[in-house]
Amino acid sequence: MPTTLRGGDDFDTSPSLRSRVKVRGAQGFGSTNTCVRRWSTLDYWEGTDISQTDSASLGASFTINTDGIYAISYSDNFNAVGTLVITNTNNNLNTTASVLDVLVMQTTGGANLAGACNWIGYVPAGTVIRARTYAPVGGNGTLTASEHFSIVRVS
């Protein structure tokens, strides 16, 4: 039986589909992993299929604990033109992202303009998902309502 969330979205609460994480409010980037986004607010974290961690030096990471199909969404803006990227298990976290690690990317149209990207697909257990920039970029933009990242296990 679906549960209605804020904003009218429905979320299936059957046992196999309960895992989801949503964060918002960009809080800069990691000090070591300078391309990895950090977040100020955890809106929800349900289920055990996804683990979320945030580190001042490493940025935010989301580890997939259960094989499955996941829907991932990332929206952001920067104080300069930038490219938002959703990556899986990336080793280039303070420089240009490896194309082998990029699930999807979207470039903003300019400084303080929002960009968004979404991806749905199979993710094996042990994969680390991150919201990041393609290459080092300026800090937070002015459109704070557009900054969010979410992962939902859909099957």
pLDDT by residue (tens digit) across 15-39? Answer: 455 799 999 999 999 999 999 999 9
Residue where the block lists tokens 């974290």 = 45
- Cα torsion at 1, 44, 67, 122 (round to 10°)? 90
- Cα torsion at 45, 49, 55, 60 (round to 10°)? -80
Pairing of strands 83-88, 37-46: unpaired
pLDDT by residue (tens digit) across 78-99? Answer: 988 899 999 998 788 988 898 8
Long-range contacts of 36-40 (CB under 8 A, 24+ apart): 36/60, 36/61, 36/93, 36/130, 36/131, 36/132, 37/76, 37/130, 37/131, 37/132, 37/133, 37/149, 39/147, 39/149
Q: What is the mean pLDDT of the chain?
A: 88
Predicted confidence (pLDDT) at residue 73 exceeds the cutoff of 90: yes
Highest mean pLDDT (candidates 3-7, 48-52, 144-148): 48-52
Predicted confidence (pLDDT) at residue 60 exceeds the cutoff of 80: yes
Residue where the block lists tokens 């940025």 = 59
pLDDT by residue (tens digit) across 115-138? Answer: 999 999 999 999 999 999 998 887
Domains observed in the chain:
2-153 (2.60.120.40)
